[in-house]
Amino acid sequence: MSGVWREQSVPMVDQECAHLALETIGAVVADTSQAQCSVRIGGRTWIMSHTNGRYAIRYNARQAGSRPSWMDGLGEAYARQVQLKQERLARREQLTTLDAEREAIRQERMVMETERKALIETRKATVIKQAKALGYRVKETVQNGEVRLVLVKSG
Amino acid sequence: MKIQIGHTLESSEIYGPGLRSVLWVQGCTLACKGCWNTQYWSSTGGITTSVDEIVEKWASTPELEGITLLGGEPLQQVGPVHALIRGARRMGLSVFLYTGYEPEELSTDMLDCFNMSDIVVTGRYVHELRNTNLRWRGSTNQIVHFPTPRYQALDIEEQHEVEVHLSSEGELSVYGYATDEFLTSIEVKS
Ligand code: SF4
């Protein structure tokens, strides 16, 4: 039998996109500060906090049982919001007549993309490091923007 | 025709030969002690989707060698699973089927699915016989069958395999036979 493990948190870099994503899956976001906010969904309240450069809603698997089903849709909803925000910014960048404003928007888009790439690179490096420390050979493939790492150890 | 599914993976390298689309069929009443996939036990969990939609998705996935059906217990939705296997075979994709049943427990329809698959792993997961160094199996009682000639010459090199997927937004998912030590080290398990 083979297992499937999904993360205990959905990592999100952009706060605005995180909030919009949560709203699209039916959550109510409140008490927002830069560091955290509360998220009401499925009759429970969760805390989304900002640590290690990303927003994440954590759950305690032992207390909460299995990963709540709404979390399965959150990653996808967040990716969609990031795409929409990039499109919004690109449109504004095109429409604006002021050079300074255009440059500010361009910078904002770049920062979002840089942060996204940095998160992936950091996480990938961690997985590879831990896998190698445990004696795995690692093969990496990238397909449609998703990284696949195959870890193999002889029996 | 509709099917209840727990999870899908567009392409993977550890669930049989070559690149494969993997589908976790929702629902299992076999209740093996120590089952790793209890989230796929409930027959009402997961999502309802159509067999045609799944087959169309396979047709548009590049470089696929085959499909792998696991669960849950695929043969507890034998009608839709039969249709999926037929759909895959029509496209020339190979079929790898996991079932917790022993061959002698299979009904005629289930046996049809078995016989149309190129590779089948049978048998309950037995926690006392757990061995994560087996290729494609979780416990030593499980048996790999080759009902068709397609992979009969294949040499199964026993090895421990894990696959980590990192989404375009940095979300991690882990598949296969991962140990707690590894899952904890990458913060997928606390
Ligand atoms: S047959 Fe598979 S899914 Fe069902 S209980 Fe056994 S190990 Fe779990």
* DSSP H or E stretch at residue B89: helix B78-90
Residues B115 and B186 in one domain: no
CB contact under 8 A, A1 and B176: no
B188 or B179: which leads in pLDDT: B179
Q: What is the CATH number of domain A5-87?
A: 3.30.310
Residues B117 and B182 in one domain: no
Q: Of the candidates A6, A7, A20, A148, which has an alpha carbon nearest to the alpha carbon of residue A82?
A: A20
> Is B21's pLDDT higher than 70?
yes
Its domain, for residue B131, covers 2-159
**What total number of domains does chain B contain?**
2
Q: What per-residue confidence (pLDDT) applies to A64? A: 45
Instruction: Quote the CA–CA distance of A17 and B93 in Å, as a whole number.
Output: 39
* DSSP H or E stretch at residue A51: strand A44-51
Q: What per-residue confidence (pLDDT) applies to A11? A: 82
pTM: 0.86
Give me ligand 1 centre to Cα A77, in Å.
Answer: 30
CB contact under 8 A, B189 and A8: yes
- Collapsing DSSP to helix, strand or coil, B182 comes out as helix
User: Which tens digits make up the pLDDT trace of A114-152?
Assistant: 988 998 999 999 999 999 999 999 999 998 889 999 999
> Which protein residue has the closest C-alpha to ligand 1 atom 1?
B100
Residues B82 and B101 in one domain: yes
Residues B168 and B151 in one domain: no
Residues B153 and B172 in one domain: no
Q: For chain B, positions 60-79, list CB contacts with chain A under 8 A.
A: 70
Residues B40 and B97 in one domain: yes
CB contact under 8 A, A60 and B190: yes
> Is B190's pLDDT higher than 70?
no
Query: Strands of A36-41's sheet, edge to edge?
Result: A28-30, A36-41, A44-51, A54-57
Residues B152 and B126 in one domain: yes
Residues B190 and B113 in one domain: no
Instruction: Quote the CA–CA distance of B26 and B45 in Å, as a whole number.
Output: 7
Residues B124 and B165 in one domain: no
Q: What per-residue confidence (pLDDT) applies to A23? A: 93
- What parts of chain A have a pLDDT lower than 70? 1, 8, 59-67, 155
Residues B166 and B154 in one domain: no
Residues B184 and B149 in one domain: no
Residues B107 and B179 in one domain: no
Give me ligand 1 centre to Cα B28, in Å.
Answer: 6
